Amino acid sequence: MKKIEAIIKPFKLEDVREALMEIGVTGLTATEVKGFGRQKGHTELYRGAEYVVDFIPKVKLEIGVDDGLVDACVDAIIKAARTGKIGDGKIFVTDMERAIRIRTGEENSDAL
């Protein structure tokens, strides 16, 4: 089992969700986050005053999947989230030792 974490632009969330559902992903967690990378923030004009926004709003997706679905998930996220512009995001894939569905006690692949 793997845990896929993807940081994407907020307006791409629905596209990514639909792409993941099409390949058989049955659930995910989405969290509003802020951060910066090479994009390093930007300046905005508000009521005539310019100010620097250091942290850019993003959405963090967390998805638990079986090993066989990892590559398809990563490809689906890339295709749905890519704009070709700086700030498209990142994907991290890590090993997941154990998953438990609280309601039923199912574990590992059955809990996903």
* Rounded-to-integer distance, Cα 96 and Cα 75, Å: 20
**Average pLDDT, whole number, for the chain?**
91
pTM: 0.85
Is residue 2 within 8 Å of residue 52, measured between CB atoms? no
Is residue 6 within 8 Å of residue 16, measured between CB atoms? yes
* Rounded-to-integer distance, Cα 17 and Cα 25, Å: 9
- Where are the strands (E) in the chain, listed by range? 2-8, 29-35, 42-46, 49-53, 56-65, 89-95
| All domains of the chain in start order, with CATH | 2-111 (3.30.70.120)
Q: What is the pLDDT of residue 35?
A: 87
CA 12 to chain centre: 10
Instruction: Summarize pLDDT for 57-111 with one digit per residue, the tens.
Output: 999 999 999 999 999 999 999 999 999 988 899 999 999 999 999 999 999 988 8
Burial class (CB in 10 A: 0-12, 13-18, 19+), 45: exposed
Sheet with 2-8, strands from edge to edge, namely 29-35, 56-65, 2-8, 89-95
